[in-house]
Amino acid sequence: MRYSKKVLSNGLSIITVPRHDSQAVTVLIMVKAGSRYETQSTNGLSHFVEHMMFKGTPNRPTTLDISKDLDRVGAEYNAFTSKDHTGYYIKINKDKISLALDILSDMLQRSKLDAEEIEREKGVITEEINMYEDNPMLYIEDVLEETIFGSNDSLGRLIIGPRKNIRKFKRNEFVKYLSEYYTANRTVIVVSGPINKDINKKVANLFSELKRGKGQKTFKNRINRQSQTRTGIVTKKSEQVQLCLGFPSYSYQDQERYSQALLAVILGGNMSSRLFISIRERQGLAYYIKADMNLYEDSGIFYIQAGLDKARLKQAITGILIELALIKESGVSNEEVKNAREFLKGKNTLQLEDSGNIASFIGRQALLQNRIMSPNEIDQQLRKVNPIKISQVAEKLFTQQKANLVMIGPVKANPIYKKMIGRHI
């Protein structure tokens, strides 16, 4: 994958990824701003700011003015906020790239942040919170991270924030936030697709109003001091129990993350994984089960998630714990490692057929790792992993003291869950 990176004098990074086998081009702007940079009193502001970027500029006074310009050319556009970054993107016909760049530069540099619009949007975000809490499959991951990191840690708080914060935010807080975090040296712009050589000059001119900010805060690998099993229960009337069993894990600075990635595939990354075969196919205990990980600059989590019938909850928990114990005791085979590696390689190949996924793949690395690895380089790192390394990672991750079990559904706190974990791992 060929790309070029240019850092302007104000610190803005421009990355171009030329691909001439498509008619679509993606412009992605990623800012190193997210909920982990908030305090308890400002929690939710990063996500709220993302909403306000679409509420009008002097050039395009309303949301409709922005959306009409993009809808009339059939563009795909959206934004997202995570714990450590915020992104805005437009995917558009290559002939309309100037429109995409103009709109994004307008939004990020000249959004009005109208006080009346802020008040109106509070109702929208409150409904988004309601929708989110009504979807346990999505909400469970945040419950897990709050259990692992704690509500006093920014990684343990909800990206969307609490209702009480949303209700009190005022315009001056948005202005201050943008001046502090939406700065050139915290921003990466990726343009992926059939692009011309003058694209760097065009981007630099359009984003010239972005100022260099203060030095960026960096996070060093933290020591997790959890010393006993934790549980988190959200009692909710529903037909199904959503369950997450999670463990503190490696950050994206750790070399062990490659072993961890293969472990996640072997355990629950696809329909031939151990958990899928054991829990779903052989025992019929769940329709949905997976193993995955969230990586941050200084930490991470490894988790297993499933949707279960309450009547078979204990049986399913036992089955999951048995699979973890088996991996610790007996390890994995060379064939499993090879198959997991080929799965990830194939999955990455398919994902990187799309200009939007390419932009995200490149941009996230540039923003958060300060190093861009090609798919081949990642594959080379995965090839260094062997069954022994995966066993060592499993042994370190899956301990009784570091286990966190959270559930949402018609369940109540019960000491039996901690005992089950202690019995098996």
Active site residues: 50
Q: Order of strands, edge to edge, in the sheet holding 286-295?
A: 230-235, 404-409, 241-248, 300-308, 286-295
Q: What string of DSSP letters covers 184-239? A: GGGEEEEEEES--TTHHHHHHHHTTTPPP-SPPP--PPPPP---S-EEEEEE---S
Query: Measured between alpha carbons, how far is 244 from 423 in angstroms, rounded to an integer?
Result: 18
3-state secondary structure of 254: coil
Sign of CA dihedral 221, 289, 151, 38: positive
**E strands along 272-350, which residues?**
286-295, 300-308
CA separation (Å) from 81 to 84, 87, 287? 8, 6, 29
Task: Provide the edge-to-edge strand list for the sheet that holds 86-93.
Answer: 4-7, 13-18, 187-193, 24-31, 86-93, 76-81
3 state DSSP class of 20: coil
Handedness of CA 32, 36, 42, 43 (dihedral sign): positive
Q: How far apart are the C-alpha atoms of 105 and 188, rounded to whole Å? A: 13
Q: Helices 313-330 and 257-268 meet at what angle, rounded to 10?
A: 130
Contact 192, 358 (CB under 8 A): yes
